[in-house]
Amino acid sequence: MADRDMQGPLLQVQNLTVTFQTARGPVHAVRNVSWHIDRGEVLAILGESGSGKSVSASAVMDLIDCPPGIIETGEIFYQGRDLLKMSRGLRRTINGKKIAMIFQDPLAHLNPVYTVGWQIEEAMTIHGMAQSKAQAETLRLLRKVGLPDAEVAAAKYPHEFSGGQRQRLMIAMALALKPDVLIADEPTTALDVTVQAQILQLLQELQAETGMALLIITHDLGVVAEVADRVVVMNKGEIVEQGTAAAVYANPQHPYTKRLMAAAPGQGALHEGEQSSPILELKDLRKSYGAFEALKGVSYVLHEGETLAIVGESGSGKSTTARLMLRLEKATSGQAIYKGRDLFTLSDQELFRMRRDIQMVFQDPTQSLNPRMTVYQLISEAWAIHSDILPKTRWKSRVAELLDQVGLHSEHMHRYPHQFSGGQRQRIAIARALALEPRVIVCDEAVSALDVQVQGQVIALLDRLKAEYGLSYIFIAHDLPVVRDFADRVVVMQGGRIVEQGPVRQIFEHPRERYTRDLLAASLDPDPEIQARRRAARLGKEVA
Amino acid sequence: MTETQTEAVPKTKEPGKFITILRLLWADKVATTAAIFVLIVIGCAILGPILLDGVATKANLRGRNAPPFDLSKGFLMILGGDQLGRPLLARIIVASGNTIAVATGAVVASMIVGSSLGLIAGYSRGRLGQVIPRLADVIMSFPSLLLAVIVLYMLAPSVGNIVLVLAITRIPIYLRTTRAEVLEIRERMFVQAAQVMGASTGRIIFRHIMPMILPTLLTIATLDFAFVMLAESSLSFLGIGIQPPEITWGLMVAQGRPYLTSAWWLSFWPGLAIILTTLSLNLLSNWMRVALDPTQRWRLEIGGKKNG
């Protein structure tokens, strides 16, 4: 085959238009999309949710369900041959073998009842490799993707691995057949920053070693800056811009790209908070689940009118502190002093009154809004519970007012949550929290599920409301650039402990602890040049 | 925030709830047909025994096992006559009264009791949450027919007691389903959001959890409707159910069984009535499941229009 692929790119998509038939008429998922990728190249497809960034890759892998999907026009050439005109059988010899794919959620793509070693072997044996050879090859692959004790790892089941390790397994499986092209669909979105950096580094190393082409589909400018040679920017099913990663970042041409680059978090001015009186104080908070200690003595103070960010990776206990504070769970020991009273010892009645003062905005508005209630019902429920806030006759006008304040229209009142976009839903959730006229709002990863531009809008909204209502925020997040733009003070947590806390400038510019420095170094900057410098520094350090 | 704004928000012209529901029903023609059929059955069940009781119990030995579609013996004999020459059509209409009463009674009773117990079992984290499911296990491990035989042998076989027995044997189905759903929904984010707002337990259960599980329960209930009708007929067949001269569809099927080879219509028509009733209820519950769910409702709102 090697002699045939001399001319033209390795994989080329030309004028691809894919339409999905829905009950509300046809929807163009992608329109006239063309891109190509060469051997040894890293191409990133960048886009927000609903931009159609995954669709062309799905078309390459024959993963589009027809119907409802229809490939209307276009060709996909792999080594000069049109994949779309091939027979199913012929395509199967290319899919998986020559073009492999890894996904965002590795757990969903690993079979829970087989050992991972068996699953990787299977990938090879179904394409005709001898069992014994496949076994040896599996161990070699597991070592290659950086899993310690390959023999032990091969005999384990998928649930016994962490998220990052599972993604390594998926990569091992994808590499089993030595593909020419590896497609990675949001490979690091579900992972912590430090793990994300490791996985991206692994992908780069493997790519350099095998000379395969790597196609990364992502929404994250940082990922593009870190790995991509070239980038294709998509919006609403169309390619708006393409070019080298550095050129697109430094000099975006299309208005959409310009907006996208401007919206990237981590570029704004740092907040300089002035000290005010404390409003909420946590003292030596502990929580154990059986023998496992989730929180090992956490203390911090929230001041009036400030935004306190709590950052940490998954399992650091940052959400647990919030859940304890709101009495969604019982603390094992410790105190939470609010207005001179310990929240943990309040009677039910006192707790009920306190609920008005401390509200929460959850991560995923799709789940935190009851799907069977209208926006009006959702927001007015606050007053149905606390009947002394507002008489029923004024509910309607107040809901309209709140919706207006969070940037929605009062006509939206009688719609249901599913009729809104993710960002709008989060606005509804914020309006609901405001309905109780709280003093403190806990935002648990409140913007993590949103697109970059929407994220910026919601952050701006939160900032504005803070000034208007005199609110204080506890902002739980894993995304450091967002925290940098929004927070006054930062608490860094790891493994149930506070590693470091201080004003945002101190944490971001002069971190004292090693863990904080690692966290900052692992977070990705949208500027490819900065990323290249960091990469060089990292490699230099490793060599030394 | 404190401004006193008294002007009313302009009322948007919205059709009433009832009209909206009728429109949603009309959008699904099959469900409309089913609803009309159910209404007819309910009408028969209420009016039938009052109007036709005399006709339905009057024996006419000349018309024994008279074949159907023969208008010479009068319109009421169009579906044929039974083994004593009583007109089948009239008997089916009269029987619908008892049948619907027993089935509705048993289904509603078991649904209310079962789902309440299930709610308690699912929501309480204490001992009740463990005791109640065991109760369901006990009922399920006991053969329901045997239970019915014992109870009805000791008590008199009346409509009330039959409803009682049937309801008890069907309770575990609702209990288990409700408990399982509650366990899942309780952990959903919007329930926690309500907790954070200070919602009481009652509010969480009735405003947030109940609406989510109601469609499932209604679907099970309509399926159960058929089961209960058949269970009642098997009790009647054993002679411990409804006692003649009272009639139900199940009893009619059982009574017609010896004549299956010579006069199929004796069992066929009441059987058809059972099938059509349950089928209609099923179609109706299927429609209701979609209509009650705001995220699914558009399927009805766009109507039968096929996309193209």
| C-alpha triplet A86, A76, A168: angle, nearest 5° | 100
ipTM of the prediction: 0.75
The three-class DSSP label of residue A441 is strand
Answer yes or no: is pLDDT of A475 > 60. yes
Whether residue A243 contacts residue A230, with contact meaning beta carbons closer than 8 Å, is answered with yes
Mean pLDDT of A486-499: 89
For residue A360, the distance in angstroms to the closest alpha carbon of chain B comes to 7
The sheet carrying A25-37 orders its strands as A25-37, A11-22, A69-78, A81-82
In chain B, whose CA is at the least distance from the CA of A411? B12
Q: Look at residue B111 and tell me whether its pLDDT is greater than 90.
A: yes
Mean pLDDT along residues B22-27:
82
What is the side-by-side strand order in the sheet with A99-102? A99-102, A181-185, A213-218, A42-46, A230-235, A238-244
Partner residue facing B196 (CB), from A326, A386, A437: A326
Rounded mean pLDDT of A192-212? Answer: 85
Residue of A348, A372, A388 to mutate, testing the B interface (most B Cβ within 10 Å of its Cβ): A372
Q: Please report which confidence band the pLDDT of residue A486 belongs to, taking 50, 70 and 90 as the band edges.
A: confident
- Residue closest to B248 by CA, chosen among B95, B145, B104, B133: B95
Distance from CA of A326 to the nearest CA of B (A): 7
Closest chain B residue to A349, measured at CA: B198
The pLDDT value recorded for residue B7 is 37
pLDDT-derived band of residue B308, with 50, 70 and 90 as boundaries? very low
pLDDT at B302: 65
User: What phi, psi does A274 have (nearest 5°)?
Assistant: -95, 145
Does the pLDDT of residue B6 top 60, yes or no? no
pLDDT in tens, A244-286: 888 888 888 888 888 888 888 777 777 776 677 888 888 888 9
Select from B5, B185, B186, B196 the residue whose CB has the most chain A CBs within 10 Å, as the one to mutate to test that interface: B196
CB atoms within 10 A of CB B43: 12
Question: pTM for this one?
Answer: 0.78
* Neighbour tally for A509: CB within 10 Å: 11
420-459 of A, contacting B, C-beta below 8 A = 429, 432, 436-437
∠ CA(A529), CA(A530), CA(A534), 5° rounding?
115
Average pLDDT over residues B117-135: 86
CB A64 within 8 A of CB A30: no
Q: B-chain residues within 8 Å CB-CB of A416?
A: 294-295
Determine contact: B262 vs chain A, CB below 8 A. Answer: no
Any CB–CB contact under 8 A between A7 and chain B?
no
- Taking residue A112's Cβ as centre, other Cβ atoms within 10 Å add up to 9
User: What is the predicted pLDDT for the residue at A540?
Assistant: 67
* Structure token pair of residue A372: 């069977």
Q: Reply yes or no on domain B20-301 having CATH 3.40.50.1100.
A: no
Which of B198, B294, B299 is the closest to A416 by Cβ?
B294
> Chain B residue closest to A418 (CA)?
B295
Rounded (5°) CA angle B156-B42-B265: 75
Q: What is the DSSP letter of A346?
A: -
Chain A within 8 Å of B188 (Cβ-Cβ)?
yes
pLDDT of B11 > 50? The answer is: no
> Rounded mean pLDDT of B37-62?
79
- A368 with B189: Cβ contact below 8 A: yes
* Alpha-carbon separation of residue A512 from A197, A498, A506, A519, A525 (angstroms): 21, 13, 9, 12, 21
Q: Which helix (DSSP H) or strand (DSSP E) does residue A19 occupy? A: strand A11-22
Nearest beta carbon to residue B196 from set A359, A394, A397 = A359
Is B9's pLDDT higher than 70? no
Separation of alpha carbons B235 and B148, rounded Å: 8
Instruction: Say which of B5, B193, B207 has its CB closest to residue A397.
Output: B5
B300 to chain A: which residues are within 8 Å by CB? none
pLDDT the model gives residue A4: 45
A432:B212 CB<8 A: no
Walk me through the domains of chain A, giving residue ranges and CATH numbers.
11-262 (3.40.50.300), 276-357+440-454+466-509 (3.40.50.300), 367-437 (no CATH)
What single-letter amino acid sits at B291? Answer: A
* B27, pLDDT greater than 90: no
In whole angstroms, what is the distance from residue A460 CA to residue A466 CA?
A: 10
Q: Is the dihedral of CA B31, B34, B35, B36 positive or negative?
A: positive
Chain Cα centroid distance, residue B175: 17
d(CA A150, CA A163): 17
A108 SS3 class: helix
Specify the residue for token string 């001992």: B127
Residue type, A251: N
Domain ranges of chain B: 20-301
Q: Rounded mean pLDDT of A477-498?
A: 87
Read off the pLDDT of each residue in A71-98 and give the average, rounded to a whole number.
84
pLDDT of residue A491: 92
Mean pLDDT of chain A: 85
Q: Quick one: average pLDDT of A279-301?
A: 87
| SS3 state at A11 | strand
